[in-house]
């Protein structure tokens, strides 16, 4: 899974019927140490109610269909976790509540 920050939303009124009602979030991949955005973006379906600015990780490929929200749907990227903490080499690089 890949770490990313929720930076926006993508709106579509004309889309495949199976994906009606799903939220499409714009994610920017981040460096897990500096937390800086990599200027590399992906549109991801939201299965956990992620909000703007939050750090999340998403799952790619066929496993993007393995959530309650995306089962049987044409998804290749689904947010499956809102991140509380990232620890590297014993130190926290990210702590949501700080």
What is the footprint of a copy of itself within residues 50-79 (CB under 8 A)?
A: 57, 59-68, 72-78
Q: What angle do CA 87, 29, 71 make, to 5 degrees?
A: 95
Cα–Cα distance, 6 to 10 (Å, whole number)? 11
The one among 21, 31, 35, 36 contacting a copy of itself by CB under 8 A: 31
The one among 21, 23, 24, 36 contacting a copy of itself by CB under 8 A: 24
The strand pair at 85-88 and 91-95 is best described as: antiparallel
Compute, in degrees rounded to 10, the torsion defined by CA atoms 14, 20, 26, 32: -150
89 binds a copy of itself (CB under 8 A): yes
87 binds a copy of itself (CB under 8 A): yes
What residue ranges bind a copy of itself (CB under 8 A)? 1-3, 7-19, 24, 26, 31-33, 41-45, 47-49, 57, 59-68, 72-78, 80-89, 93
């Amino acid at each position: 899974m890949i770490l990313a920050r929720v930076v926006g939303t993508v709106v579509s009124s004309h889309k495949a019927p199976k994906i009606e009602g799903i939220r499409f979030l714009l994610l920017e991949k981040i460096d897990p140490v500096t937390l800086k955005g990599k200027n590399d973006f992906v549109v991801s379906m939201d299965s956990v109610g992620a909000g703007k600015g939050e750090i999340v990780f998403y799952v790619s490929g066929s496993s993007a269909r393995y959530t309650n929200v995306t089962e049987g749907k044409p998804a290749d990227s689904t947010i499956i976790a809102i991140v509380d903490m990232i620890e590297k080499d014993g130190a926290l690089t990210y702590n949501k509540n700080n």
